[in-house]
Amino acid sequence: MEKVVIYAAYPLWRKNSLVGFARAKELQDEGNDVTVAYCAAKCGTCICNQMGNPVVCGICRTTTRLTAKRLGLNAVPLEIDSESTSNCLDISFSERKELVEGVLSGLISVFRILPKDIKRHRLLRILKRRSYRTAVGLLRQLKSLMARTRPDRFEVFNGRHACSKAGLLAAKSFIIPYYTLEVTSRRRPIIHRGYTAHDRVGVQQRILSQPVDMELATQFYENRKRPQNNRFAKHHSSRFVLPSTDGFDRLVTVFLSSQDEFASLGKSWRSTFDEDHAVIGRLCRRFPKSLFCIRFHPNQGGIKSDITSEFQKLGELPNVTVYYPHDPANTYDLINGSDVVVVFNSTVAAEACWAGKPVIMIGPSFYDRLDVGYTPTDEDELQQLLDIPNLAVKDRQNAARLAHYLLKDGDQMKYIRVDNAEMTADGAPRSLPVLTVMARHFNTLTSEAVKPFV
């Protein structure tokens, strides 16, 4: 028997709540001493309640308490008052920085704006301060709970945003082992033991443990090209024509990442390279006989920060063609027509490797330890790789392991049922689900109403 504290983070979000409570109930059935902690703020600001609406807070704490009671779980409310949010002498400077990073993660995800631009908007600065105060209160209360209960393990969903990150910080301060819960792209619950869902080292170790199923991988990478299986492929044009390479020695395609997504992951994901437009610009000038096709990620179209101006300047170079987020370029035609593929963190790295293309990956990614491409540590190494006339293609086995991870991996849970990539509760349903849906929709509507002013 182990003593386990599970923090019910994001209780208004359906999948998070289902997995968190299913996990708590299953651990208790196995004979463990389980405590479910939950936020009991009356006017808190968090990723689930961006505007700090007291009605949303009320629904959140009430439904969480009733769900725990219904499932026979011991639930402990974390009362956040003015004292817990104002006095933070017991919180270290590094912990405060982590909380700020978690707050920024939420703001970036919701408002699709890069960190450098958040401080320019008064409303976002206010939301940042309010979210930080709530997170400080949660951290103090979770530290107090850890000191009282001294659990053998702590578990929380995700761990990226400030509300769940507070739990991880509390556990680390008492050197308590932790697990993070998540849901895979195929709607399966997954448990990360000792790392988070955005820890690229831990995630890649799990990917490398997968079996090599070449038939399954073939099916996966072929399905990625079909619009019904890949929402980004819907933007691809069947009439797309590759640019002419007359007068050039080769075609190098550069695939950009969705900058806001990776900015939201925090400091561990900061690249040692210069900004992407600067790196690419120097490459284009260094290799004038190479035609560079620069492909923006389709998801970048919703980013409010200016991400295109510098590339418009690059597009004026004679050896550069730029495809912006809303341009109907075909990613897979670009891959197939390329002599070299350069990737700033994208599944395209594995797809290009699978297609038999040499891949160069710039900066940290979920693929930088899979050996599906080359990972230069600086621009000198990057340029040296592009100097090689016939860069060798990497082995496809780890691309196959990635396909198995994305399609098949996950952890079975007693109280979760997964049918046709749809996850439902099986014996551990939420209380008052209609109210939680209403609260979440209200939060979404208020956030959308604010976006035009950001």
- pLDDT at position 81: 73
Across the range 296-309, mean pLDDT stands at 89
Q: What is the DSSP letter of 166?
A: H
pLDDT score for 229? 72
Q: What per-residue confidence (pLDDT) applies to 212?
A: 98
Q: What is the mean pLDDT of residues 81-103?
A: 81
Looking at residue 89, its pLDDT comes to: 57
Please name the residue that has the structure tokens 């190494």. Answer: 381
Residue 439: per-residue pLDDT: 92
The per-residue DSSP string of 41-92 comes to -SS--BTTBTT--HHHHHHHHHHHHHHHHHTT-EEEEE---HHHHH--TTS-
Element (H, E) at 293: strand 290-295
Could you tell me what percent of the chain has a pLDDT over 70? 97
Q: What is the model's pLDDT at position 87?
A: 56
- Residue 103: partners with Cβ closer than 8 Å, 6 or more residues away: 128, 131, 132, 135, 161, 162
pLDDT in tens, 203-221: 999 999 999 999 999 999 9
HSE on the CB side for 151, CA within 13 Å? 28
Q: Read off the pLDDT of residues 106-142 as tens digits, 9 standing for 90 and up.
A: 999 999 999 989 988 999 999 999 999 999 999 999 9
Quick: pLDDT tens for 51-71: 999 999 999 999 999 999 999
What is the pLDDT confidence band of residue 388, given thresholds at 50, 70 and 90?
very high
Is the pLDDT at 84 greater than 60? The verdict is no
| pLDDT per position as a tens digit, 218-274 | 999 999 988 777 777 766 777 889 999 999 999 999 999 988 888 899 888 989 999
Model pLDDT, residue 153: 98
Give the bridge partners for 157, in sequence order: 181
Q: Residue 82: pLDDT band by 50, 70, 90 thresholds?
A: low
- pLDDT at position 132 is 96
* Secondary element (H or E) of residue 38: strand 33-39
pLDDT per position as a tens digit, 155-190:
999 999 999 999 999 999 999 999 999 999 899 999
Which of the residue ranges 31-35, 46-50, 249-253, 393-397 would you say has the lowest mean pLDDT? 46-50
Q: What is the mean pLDDT of residues 329-351?
A: 94
Q: What is the pTM of this model?
A: 0.92
Percentage of residues in the chain with pLDDT exceeding 90?
Answer: 80
At residue 382 the predicted structure's pLDDT band, cuts being 50, 70 and 90, is: very high
CB-side exposure of 300: number of CA atoms within 13 Å?
21
Kindly indicate the confidence band of residue 85, based on its pLDDT and cuts at 50, 70 and 90.
low
Q: Residue 454's pLDDT is what?
A: 79
CA distance 143 to 174: 8
Q: Phi first, then psi: what are they for 218, rounded to 5°? A: -60, -45
